[in-house]
Amino acid sequence: MIITALAEKESQGVEYYLALSETTSTREKITKIAKQQGYLEIKACKYLNNNTLIITWAKGHLVRLKEPEEYNEKWKDWSLENLPIVPDNFEYVVDEKRKRQYDIVEKKLKIAQQIIWAGDIDREGSYISYLICKQAKVWNDERKTFKSLWIDDLTAKPIRKGFQNLKDIDYRYLQAQEAQARAIADWLLGMNSSRYLSKSLENKLGLRVPEKEGKIASGRIISPTTYFIYQREQERENFVERAYYELEGTFTHPNGTYTGKYIPADITYTKGERKGKKWKGDCDTREQWEKLIANPSFIGQFDKGEIVELEKELKESRSPRLYSLSDMQKAMDKKLGISPSETLAILQELYETDRYVTYPRTSSNHISVERFEYLHESLYTMTQLVDIPLSECVQSGKVDGFYVNNKKAAVHAGLTPTTEFPTMEEIESWSNEKRTIYMEVLKRSLAIFLHKYQYEQTKIITQVGNGKFQTIGRVTAHKGWKILWEDKEALFDIDSVEEKPLIKVALNDLVTPLLTPIEKHTSKPQLYTEGTLIDAMETAGRHFEDEELRAIMKETQGLGTEATRAPTLEKIKNYHWYVVKKGRIHLTELGRLLCQSYSSVKILSDAQTTALWEQSLKKISNGENTKERFLANIIRYLNRESEKNLFNDLDNSMNKVDYLPYKDYMEKLKQSATGEVGECPKCHAPVRYITSKNKKVFLKCQNGLLTQEQLANGEVASCDFFLNMEVASKKLTEKMARDLLKKRRTSVVKGFKKSNNQGTFDARVILNDDLKLAFEKG
């Protein structure tokens, strides 16, 4: 029997071959053969009953949905009259750039009696395999059987075990149906909303965005994600700082002093914006607190105090659960300042190329019993790599359900090392980023076998009059798993309470209080980093008032998936909707304009609507919904005859936008499209960039530009305005050029080279009365 295994990428196929064959060839040689042939063959694979195994692979999506114009030539034109774009049947074509590999895959699938889906075990991996089998016309071939390889570790032992224990295809088929429904729905929403938004803005404002300035588009994930950024910026713009006061007590005892925080009396607001809410112990002014201190209902007598409660308790905490991809991306954003895409790329390298970590695109924090046992067998190696004695580990090997859950690790498990480990020398040769990421995976995995962190917590309740104050102290009793993170900074993503020893006191001891209202201030919400934006996507819906919607978003794990969140941010950034400055995300004018334009369209701006969409999609892979039923609802929303439809919603939303603040931005886009930088200060004609043969850049008035033919005819330019865009060894930016033409001066520019080459200086560049460049000290 011939069995064809369809991997998702070449590197997977090579690892399968190396694990299942008896070859003595090197990985490099097998990779070279794989690139030449597009497949690898094992004549008698002992892990598959000595049947012939052909291993071939996709290169991502070999098959894609047709573009609009491939259905209907008129849909090539971005015209409002052509909308909605809804094909009668959705069709697929082979991607021309990948046709060679597709032809190889199709041939190998057709000669097989059994086909194994051996790609990534997620819905996208299932979708890729399904589309290829459909396109190759083997899916409905009753002479063929289909199986699924279910592994998340590309080392030899798990691969062999996986091929010996192939699973039925049923669940992966439902995964593929869910992914297909999502892809078609996203295609429908993206094609129709992007075109309508783009053409409507062009018609309303004459707004055309040159490719280098960004892109007008919209979609089910990119639009709500960008809207998160917009909402955060709005919160900051509308924020009004408020001073408030909390009451703190400093207590003098014969053994020293300690402080305590007032425990708010049980009071509920009966009016105002906090009506129905509990008082949190804050007052608007110091005077209000002084009145409350003197009020016997609150405190009254405040010249002496007594310790009325004293509790000492030995507490303990487990190490954090294993990393999911999002967890790691957030941690590396905070610790190293690298983007989610960079973190994913490093993890992907550690998984595919090095084979040192398990499948990275995971949303799980748990592992299976089998993986737990692998790790337990590797304790000695792991402790050697982090330089701690094996005696620090709990040796029993008892499974802890806090980390180990077969059900929660059924599709993908939390990130762990594989059964292969690098040497310390190899780790030291890596970049700081790669080394840090690998060691975090290693430490989190090792930590589950270390003793719990133990600390002694002391709680003191001090009574002053009728008021009570709480003091909490903590001292470490046993470091346990925290020994892995001796450096305090390394606890970047672990809940860590500062050590706070207290003086020795006893129950009923008397103390002398000093009560002080402490001034505090409300603070603006922080701008997102790419890590905290990933977190916002993952936890979208946590603050929904509707309990059912909260549950849906928790189940569907927010906006996007572990595999798509980082690429989503890259796409938004490449569209020029946001920029990152000093680690913080700032919307561009284009990003803000788009958010305002679709702010009332729930499917593009509201995470709750996405939650309902994701719930319906999830039901497809659970067998509770169908692809056809789901898509029918989307198509109904695109019907312009429907009472409520996408196009009316976009019109209503855009009609609410004040476009006046975007006047300068639109002028800039117009100039960018035509190559104009500004207006000539001499004749008021457009000024453009020109580049000389030796690559020097200048500004020149359009009336000073003559063609070769005009020069040959002896024509003379009507304007001679001309500026060199490099001054004192410093290249001037486009913004500086615009400022010079519009304001006659730039802001202070640093780093001009002195004429004697002895150092640099800072200055403004100005356009003087003779329309020549000069310097003005800042």
Percent of the chain at pLDDT > 90 equals 71
Q: What is the pLDDT of residues 657-672, one digit of tens each?
A: 998 888 888 877 877 7
Given a contact cutoff of 8 angstroms between Cβ atoms, the answer to whether 455 and 484 are in contact is no
Distance, CA of 632 to CA of 653 (rounded, Å): 25
Per-residue confidence at 239, pLDDT binned at 50, 70, 90? very high
Q: What is the mean pLDDT of residues 354-372?
A: 92
Distance, CA of 749 to CA of 530 (rounded, Å): 29
**φ and ψ at 632, to 5 degrees?**
-60, -40
Q: With 90 as the cut, is the pLDDT of residue 8 above it?
A: yes
Q: How many CA atoms lie within 13 A of 470 on its CB side?
A: 8
* Nearest C-alpha neighbor of 617 from the set 625, 609, 605, 628: 625
Strands (E), 263-403: 282-283, 305-317
Q: How many CB atoms lie within 10 A of CB 31?
A: 18
Amino acid making up residue 279: W
Total number of residues shown for the chain = 778
Distance, CA of 373 to CA of 409 (rounded, Å): 14
Q: What is the pLDDT of residues 468-494, one digit of tens each?
A: 999 999 999 999 999 998 765 554 445
Helix axes 627-637, 607-621, angle to 10 degrees: 150
Given a contact cutoff of 8 angstroms between Cβ atoms, the answer to whether 378 and 417 are in contact is yes
Q: Which of 199-203, 411-415, 768-772 has the lowest mean pLDDT?
A: 411-415
Q: Collapsing DSSP states into helix, strand and coil, what is residue 119?
A: coil
* DSSP string covering 155-202: SHHHHHHHHHT-EESHHHHHHHHHHHHHHHHHHHHHHHHHHHHHHHHH
* The Cα angle at residue 57 between residues 51 and 58, in degrees rounded to 5: 150
Q: Collapsing DSSP states into helix, strand and coil, what is residue 767?
A: strand
Distance, CA of 764 to CA of 748 (rounded, Å): 4
**φ and ψ at 709, to 5 degrees?**
-65, -45
Q: For 671-679, which contacts have Cβ atoms below 8 Å and span 24 or more sequence positions?
A: 672/210, 672/212, 672/213, 673/208, 673/210, 677/734, 677/737, 677/738, 677/741, 678/737, 678/738, 678/741, 678/742, 679/741, 679/742
- Tokens 């982090």 found at: 386
Rounded to the nearest angstrom, the gap between the alpha carbon of residue 561 and the centroid of all alpha carbons in its chain is 9
* Nearest C-alpha neighbor of 688 from the set 700, 679, 697: 700
Q: What is the pLDDT of residues 562-601, one digit of tens each?
A: 888 999 999 999 999 999 999 999 999 999 999 999 999 9
Q: Which of 27-31, 33-37, 62-66 has the lowest mean pLDDT?
A: 27-31
* Nearest C-alpha neighbor of 153 from the set 120, 105, 104: 120
Per-residue confidence at 457, pLDDT binned at 50, 70, 90? very high
Per-residue confidence at 100, pLDDT binned at 50, 70, 90? very high
Q: What is the pLDDT of residues 718-772, one digit of tens each?
A: 999 999 999 988 889 888 998 999 999 999 999 899 888 888 999 999 999 999 9
Look at 556 and 95; give whichever has higher pLDDT: 95
Q: What is the pLDDT at residue 491?
A: 47
CB-based contacts of 583: which residues, under 8 Å, 6+ apart? 337, 529
Q: With 80 as the cut, is the pLDDT of residue 344 above it?
A: yes
Instruction: Write the CA distances from 475 to 251, 260, 261, 392, integer angstroms.
Output: 20, 17, 19, 20
Q: What is the pLDDT of residues 512-556, one digit of tens each?
A: 999 999 999 999 999 999 999 999 998 875 666 666 666 666 666
Average pLDDT value over all residues in the chain: 91
Percent of the chain at pLDDT > 70 equals 96
For the chain, domains (ranges, CATH) are 2-168 (3.40.50.140), 181-238+527-660 (1.10.460.10), 243-318+454-521 (2.70.20.10), 355-451 (1.10.290.10), 675-776 (no CATH)
- The two structure tokens encoding residue 102: 């597709």
Distance, CA of 778 to CA of 765 (rounded, Å): 10
Q: What is the pLDDT at residue 492?
A: 46
- The two structure tokens encoding residue 97: 């750039």
Distance, CA of 432 to CA of 513 (rounded, Å): 51
Q: What is the pLDDT at residue 488?
A: 54
DSSP 350: I
Given a contact cutoff of 8 angstroms between Cβ atoms, the answer to whether 417 and 427 are in contact is no
Given a contact cutoff of 8 angstroms between Cβ atoms, the answer to whether 83 and 647 are in contact is yes
> Which ranges of 320-476 does DSSP label H, i.e. alpha helix?
325-335, 340-348, 369-377, 379-386, 424-429, 432-447
